[in-house]
Amino acid sequence: MTAQQIGNSVGLAILVAVSAGVSGGATTPAERLAGFHAAYWVAGGIGLLGGLTVLLTRFPKVDAVPSASEARL
C-alpha cells in the first residue's frame, strides 16, 4: 500500500512537471493544452512500458524445462 501511494505521488509529480515544462508560462487553458497532451503521451508510454515489462517477465518461457519436483506433479 505504501509503495502504491509513493508511486502515485511521484508519477503525478512527473506528469505535472512535464505539463508545466511544455506549456511554459501559459496563462490560458488553450495554451496549456499542449502541456496536457505531452503529459498524456508520457503517461501512456509509461503504461505501455509497464505492460511490456509484465509480459516479458511474468510468464514462463515455452521452451523451459520443468524441474524434477515440477515433473512429478
**Structure confidence at residue 67 (pLDDT):** 73
**Structure confidence at residue 72 (pLDDT):** 63
Residues contacting residue 42 through CB under 8 Å, at least 6 positions apart = 14, 15, 18
**Structure confidence at residue 69 (pLDDT):** 73
pLDDT above 70 for 53: yes
**Structure confidence at residue 45 (pLDDT):** 96
Distance CA 15, CA 1 (A): 21
Which of the 8 DSSP states describes residue 19?
H
